[in-house]
Amino acid sequence: MNYHRLDQRRNFIARHFAEDIFMSAEPGSILVATGDVIAFPIIYFQTVEKLGRQITLIWLPMFSQPWYVRQLRACYPDLVSPFDYYDGQSNNLKLLMDANPDHTACFIITLDDDHSSDSTYWPYQRGLLTLAEPRSRTLSMVDMMKENEQLLQRYRPPNPAAVKRETFERDILFAYAWPEFRIANICEWAGAKNEARAWYQSALQVDPEFSQARSVGTLGTLILNQSGQTATLALTLF
């Protein structure tokens, strides 16, 4: 048995990831998590160490269970759930967002197959979090880049050379590289080729094995559209 490999006393990847998420979220934000890697660190640090209490966490795979919705209502009294279970169709995320207008809904990477909010909300990248912003709100691409430059400098992504890629650490590293990739997609769509290339390179610095970031051009646009992110039309260049 390799004790050095099993000893995780100095492995702070999950902690840093959760703390960086807490730092990125506005008080009262609703974070919709789609996978174990995203949800488990936040659940642990909220429940056990009482950190990040300003975030309402919804673990989407469990949201389809009525008992889980009842638990959410008990844990987060300010959360309004307009349905007793989530099905991604008639009971969808748009209804949840509309029912909680004073709470910013956000997610990490993508929301799988639920595109119910695409016509009303569009994704704004803020560090690790993608915020669901009303389409009526127009924001500057330049301001978005400046905000992310400042926020990303405060993050503590894992050293890619030390990441155990057969474990959850690979997914966390990918999540850290995703913001730069998304912003590069937006810059590329807007015709800002130099800025796009710089952001793609930043994504590769975080995760050198992020193969999509190497394909500047068609692939980036394809992934942007497949993820339901065509709402970047709401960004202005100034």
User: What tokens were used for 88?
Assistant: 């991604």
pLDDT tens-digit map of 86-136:
999 999 999 999 999 999 999 988 766 888 998 999 889 999 999 999 988
Where is 125: in which H helix or E strand?
A: strand 121-126
Q: How far is CA 68 from the centre of its chain?
A: 22
pTM (2 d.p.): 0.85
pLDDT band at 216 (very low <50, low <70, confident <90, very high): low
For residue range 40-68, list pLDDT tens digits in order: 998 999 999 998 888 999 999 999 999 99
For residue 133, give the 3-state DSSP assignment. Answer: strand
Residue 233 has a pLDDT of 36
Is the predicted pLDDT of residue 9 greater than 90, yes or no? no
Which residues neighbour 190 within 8 Å (Cβ) at sequence distance 6 or greater? 141, 232, 235, 237
Q: Does 2 have pLDDT greater than 80? A: no
